[in-house]
Amino acid sequence: MKVAIVIPDGLSATLFCSGMIRAICRSAECEVAVISEAGESGTRIEELGARSIELRMHRYVSPLRDVVYVLRLAQILRREKFDSVVNFSTKPNVYGPIAARLAGCHRVVCHVVGLGSTFIVSEGKDPSRWALRVVVRLLYRLAARLSDAMWFTNRNDLACFEEWGLVRRTETLLTRSYLDVNRYSAAGITEDAVESVRCELGLEGGDLVVLMIARMIWAKGIREFVEAAVFLHSTFPSLHFVLVAPPEEDSDGAVPASYIAQHTSKANLQWLGFRSDIESLIGLCDVAVLPSYYREGGYPRALLEPMAMGKPVVAADTTDCRGPVDHGVTGYLVPPRDSRALAAAIAKLVEDPSLRKTFGANARQRIESEFDEDVIVPEALCGLGILPQFSTP
């Protein structure tokens, strides 16, 4: 059986779908290909055991480009004679089922891992945002009708789809989010890699680091992170705030670079843009934060990855962020859009090394027991009818 994973880009494929690729490859009856704009990640995809098929997808709203994308995707699926298709993220989810049915694929699954900024309630007064939300709902309704099943990692997203009448519970599967607990582990990062990053950032041996990994949009809590850095600068002059967030000039709600620039002189704040050495940066940090009010996937990787590497976390107390965080056990939850509460929680951890160590150990234990992709993903693929039988590592 030939399985296609349709995803926007190769980096996302290697970060989010490596467990899926491994699980499918372990089945002697299956072969898998990733259809994406792979770029430099194509080699890594093939190292995981999948073929990489190049297809560019325009990220933002563009009806003409989207039609072209659907037609090209259908052409690839028909030419390669894929039996099953797993679509991942919003555009592949809404357009992938159309292409798969045009190509005659037998089984089609959509993997919903978050609804994104389109569905942030606070933006609902914007007429264009409201119209886009209506269109996306209609597209998801069509996608659900054309799909055999929809896989959710967030019960809140599933509840929304049911409330909107897009899906029936019998056509859905709900799991936790998941990640590679071997890749994201303190044991997997060398001291040299961490020291290399420390030197690059100009940090002294006793400096502490607060890390935030996110998209460069306001809804991720960028303002709250920056303001917390400013609030704590005089109290903790050796505390450094490091933001990893690729620039997003064309995205709605994008944070301008000028905003970060005007605050770097007021705090020990560094914006690194895009980085491929995320594990080393997490290994360097002492606290990881995500003050997001964005529609996350229920268990944001910006929290899961640091927790897997034994780091305490601070997150916004929202339905989309609180999932992996046990308040007072693995980290702290703070009110969303509250910079001072965020700063206070960070200060508690900065002042108490033993607390950081305890929270970090608890975090690692929880990730190992509840979020291991080598357990969750094969079971899910079997339940979705993608794998002919359950495949264990």
Q: Summarize pLDDT for 258-286 with one digit per residue, the tens.
A: 999 999 878 899 999 999 899 999 999 99
pLDDT of 123 higher than 50: no
How far apart are alpha carbons 318 and 1 in whole angstroms?
Answer: 41
Q: Which residues of 60-75 are buried (b: 16+ CB within 10 A; e: fewer)?
A: eeeeeebeebbeebbe
Q: Name the average pLDDT for the chain.
A: 91
Q: Is the dihedral of CA 82, 86, 89, 90 positive or negative?
A: positive
Give the pLDDT score at 121: 52
Give the pLDDT score at 295: 76
pLDDT tens profile 35-80: 999 999 999 999 999 999 999 998 777 889 999 999 999 999 999 9
The CATH fold assigned to 2-178+372-383 is Rossmann fold (3.40.50)
- Rounded to two decimals, the pTM is 0.86
Q: Which CATH superfamily is domain 186-370 in?
A: Glycogen Phosphorylase B; (3.40.50.2000)
Task: For residue 38, give the DSSP letter.
Answer: -
pLDDT of 93 higher than 70: yes
From residue 356, give the alpha-carbon distance in Å to each of 30, 81, 287, 307, 351: 44, 52, 8, 11, 9
Give the pLDDT score at 119: 65
pLDDT tens profile 223-262: 999 999 999 999 999 999 999 999 987 677 899 999 999 9
Q: How far is it between the farthest Cα atoms of the chain?
A: 63
Within 10 angstroms of residue 281's Cβ, the number of other Cβ atoms is 23
Q: Answer whether 279's CB lies under 8 Å from 189's CB.
A: yes
How far apart are alpha carbons 189 and 192 in whole angstroms?
Answer: 8
pLDDT-based confidence at residue 297 (cuts at 50, 70, 90) = low
* 130 or 211, which is more confident: 211
Tokens of 40: 């430099």
> What are the residue ranges spanned by the domains of the chain?
2-178+372-383, 186-370
- One fold for both 2-178+372-383 and 186-370? yes
Q: Answer whether 43's CB lies under 8 Å from 10's CB.
A: no
The percentage of the chain sitting over the pLDDT mark of 90, rounded to a whole number, equals 76
* 136 or 328, which is more confident: 328
How far apart are alpha carbons 274 and 9 in whole angstroms?
Answer: 15
Mean pLDDT, residues 191-195: 94
